[in-house]
Amino acid sequence: MVAIHLAPLRVELVHAEGYTLGVVPYLPPGRLEERFGPYAAVIARALDRQVTFRTKTTYEIFKNEIVNQTYDIVFLQPFDYPEATDKHEYLPLARANEPLTALIVTRKVSALKTLSDLKHKTLATPPMASAVGRLGLDAMRKIGLSANSDFKLRLSTTHSACMQAVLIDKADACITNNVPLRVHRSTKRDLFKILAETESIPHALFMAHKRIPLRERELIRSALLKLNNSPAGKNLLIHSGWKNGFVKARDADYAAIRYMPPIPTKP
C-alpha cells in the first residue's frame, strides 16, 4: 500500500493577503476538506500566497456564495458553469479528465435489474440541481417514469447520504457518479451494483474569479495540470477521487449544457 502524504490544509506564506478555494458540497464537509485541502496547498505553493479551503453544508448555501462571488477559486459541478461564468465573473481553469455520467445504483443483493424496475419504488438523489441529479432524472423521464407519480423521490444532501439511504433501506436505488462511488468503495466494502449509466457531459471543474490576475490564473491552471507529472501529485489525484487528473477547461466544452432541458428543482 502506497503511503499518501497530504500537505497542510492551510499554507502560511509570505503574502499576507490570501485566496479562498470553495468546493461544491458533493461529500460531507470533513471528507471534502481531507480531499481538497491539499489542492489549496498545491495552489498556494504555485502562487506563493495563502489559500484556504472552504465549503458549505448544503448545495443551496454554497450556491449563494457563488452568487455573492465570495470565493476566489471554486470547484463546481458542470451545470453551475453557465451561471458562474455568465453572471458572476468566474473563468474556467481546469476540468476533470473524464466524462461525467450519472450512475443509478442499488444494493448488490437487490432484485432490481433495470431502471424500469424502479416503478413504484423509491429513488434517492443528491440535490436535484446537481449535475448527476439532473442527468439521472432525465434518464428516468426518457423511459417514461416521472418522479412522485411513477416512483417516489427521496432527496439527500450529499452523494454519501444518497448511497447510505440505500444501505439502510430508506431507498431502493440512488443517483450518483463514479467519483463518490469510487471514494465509497475505497473506504467500505463494495455493496453496490449499477443499474444504469446515463449519457455523458463534461465533468466538474476549477474556476477562478476574474479579480485574480491573469498571470496567477495561469499559474493555478499549470499547477493543476502538472499533478499527474509527479508521484505526490498522482497520489493526491487518486486519494481525492480524480485519478485521471485535469485538463484545460474551455468555455466551448460546456456549450451543450446551456441547451439541455431543465429538471425541476423540487420533487
Domains detected in the chain: 15-99+202-259 (3.40.190.10), 102-197 (3.40.190.10)
3-state SS assignment for residue 214: helix
Residue for grid cell 444494493: 107
Spatial contact of 139 and 198, defined as CB atoms under 8 Å apart:
yes
What is the helix (H) or strand (E) element at residue 163, kind and residue range?
Answer: helix 159-167
CA 128 – CA 33 distance, rounded (Å)? 23
CA 61 – CA 64 distance, rounded (Å)? 5
* Amino acid 183: pLDDT: 74
* Amino acid 261: pLDDT: 60
* Amino acid 131: pLDDT: 78
Give per-10-residue mean pLDDT for the chain (267 aa): 41 60 92 95 97 93 96 94 95 95 94 96 84 87 91 89 94 90 73 92 95 98 97 94 94 84 51
Q: How many CA atoms lie within 13 A of 119 on its CB side?
A: 7
Report yes or no on whether pTM surpasses 0.75: no
DSSP classification of residue 63:
H
Residue for grid cell 463514479: 178
C-alpha 198, offset from chain centre: 16
Residue for grid cell 439502510: 168
* Amino acid 194: pLDDT: 93
Spatial contact of 203 and 100, defined as CB atoms under 8 Å apart:
yes
CA 121 – CA 104 distance, rounded (Å)? 13
* Amino acid 129: pLDDT: 64
DSSP classification of residue 9:
S
Nearest-CA neighbor of 127 among 167, 161, 85?
161
* Amino acid 10: pLDDT: 40
CA 51 – CA 71 distance, rounded (Å)? 11
Question: Which residue type occupies 71?
Answer: Y
CA 199 – CA 201 distance, rounded (Å)? 7
